[in-house]
Structure 1
Amino acid sequence: IVEKTGDIFDAPPNSVIIHACNCKGHWGAGIAAAFKSHYPEAHKIHASYCTHCPDKLAPIGTAQLIPPVDGEANNIKHYVGCLYTSTYYGRKKDSPSKILENTGPAMEHLLELIENAKQKVEVGEVRMCKINSGLFKVPWEKTRKMLEGLDV
């Protein structure tokens, strides 16, 4: 993991932009709201996916890779990587320990989805905000340590 300060949304075309999500498909606050603003068409795909899952919840500890969508604002061509690390959001969000427990499998799943996509199309660099550290209230140092321990 290489940490850099900057605007995650300024990534080159075909980059994967990753954030942690709730399983309801709600991008209403924090970094998720910024993703919704930058990628409204991707958000529609994401919300529809969650709505069509059993119990209208994406499976916890999994991921979704949304390819670049025509019609995004400013013709942005990024993949959006969604890590399902908390079942709900707000006061009903999962505990920090549960979110950390879900982050590893979700990241492994996303990396698998990225590798599968690379067999068919060009996928550029991968960028990620300090996932879980905002409204999910998991200290970044704990998430970083967990991610560094993954066998990838």
Structure 2
Amino acid sequence: MAIITEELGDIFSAPSQSILIHACNARGAWGSGVALAFKKKYPLAFRKYNAHCLSSPTGSNIPIKQHQTNLVGTTLLIAPPSATDQRQAFRTPHYIACLFTSLDYGKRVSPPKEILENTGNALKDLAKQVAELRGRGEDVGNCYAVRINSGKFAVGWQMTEAVLEAGDLDITVVRPEEEENADGTGTAAGGKRGQRPTMSSEAKGSKPPKAAVKRAGGSPDKHMVGVKRKLGTDIDENDGSDGDNTATKQAPRLQPGIAKRRKKLGLDG
């Protein structure tokens, strides 16, 4: 069982003579994702990879497409530039391990099950080549990798990680901070890592709209006038009660005709 560890950082900052591992197609294209970053950083390595894919082995007459099919499940290990190109050797002092895990790319990428199987076979091929180099006394450093297959090949990282653990090479997986965690969680939708979630106006304690203030906090006199008109009574506002104001009672008035008859009959003094 191999030991697979993860750390945050830049894979291109690995120590000199390290082996940088990434997954490739067998068509000779590094056109997007991590592969494009490798192409820009290691142009000499890309040319060797491209020629390896588009040229049949020396002395072989097999068609190019058949040759590319045969590459799947193998690894092309490209040594660092020689001392004759000191500038390039200083800039890119790494071995580049191209794992052919998919025949094609884009819409024609291989199914995940095939990619995982190809990854296991390519790792075995890489382990064999590394052992041979070290056996000859070559200065070969440790293995570093990105989260292979999880980008444009769209294979879940945890499945590929299990394949790496079953291999023979200890590998340090380097990922940028913005990349998702191993459990599939990453930055919040629509946000950035470290960014505080947006609070609602209520959570911030902001003032309610002016219209709401006007409706809720209008003058009590205006409200009471409406009550008075509806009840037809006056309200004692200074009775000292706790919201239990009562209407004062008024003596009923007699109609003028009834009052005269009562006086004539001597009923009222």
Same fold (TM over 0.5): yes
Structure 2 counterpart of 1:29, from 27, 32, 57:
32
Aligned length: 152
Structure 2 counterpart of 1:117, from 133, 141, 153:
133
1:48-98 per-residue CA deviation (whole Å, 9 max, x = no partner) reads 011113425261100010000144385221000010000001111101111
Structure 2 residues without counterparts, runs of 5 or longer? 57-61, 170-269
Give the counterpart letter for 1:82 in structure 2.
Answer: C
Give the counterpart letter for 2:32 in structure 1.
Answer: A
Pair 1:59-2:76 in alignment: no
The offset of 1:5, in angstroms, is 1.1
Between the two structures, name the one with larger relative contact order (CA 8 Å, sep ≥ 6): 1
Within-5 A mapping of 1:1-152:
1-53=4-56, 54=62, 55-56=64-65, 57=68, 59-70=71-82, 71=85, 72=88, 75-120=91-136, 121-150=138-167
- Indicate the RMSD between aligned Cα atoms, in angstroms: 1.6
Find the aligned partners of 2:168 and 2:49 in 1 and give their Cα distance.
Answer: 27
Bigger mean CA deviation after superposition, 127-136 or 46-55: 46-55
Give the counterpart letter for 2:140 in structure 1.
Answer: V
The offset of 1:149, in angstroms, is 2.1
% identical equivalent positions? 41
1:108-139 per-residue CA deviation (whole Å, 9 max, x = no partner) reads 10111111122231001110000000000000
Give the counterpart letter for 2:154 in structure 1.
Answer: K
The answer to whether the Cα contact below 8 Å between 1:39 and 1:73 also exists between their aligned partners in 2 is: no
1:1-21 per-residue CA deviation (whole Å, 9 max, x = no partner) reads 011111000011100000000
TM-score, normalised with respect to structure 1: 0.93
For the residue of structure 1 that corresponds to 2:8, the secondary structure is coil
For the residue of structure 2 that corresponds to 1:28, the secondary structure is coil
Find the aligned partners of 1:85 and 1:93 in 2 and give their Cα distance.
Answer: 10
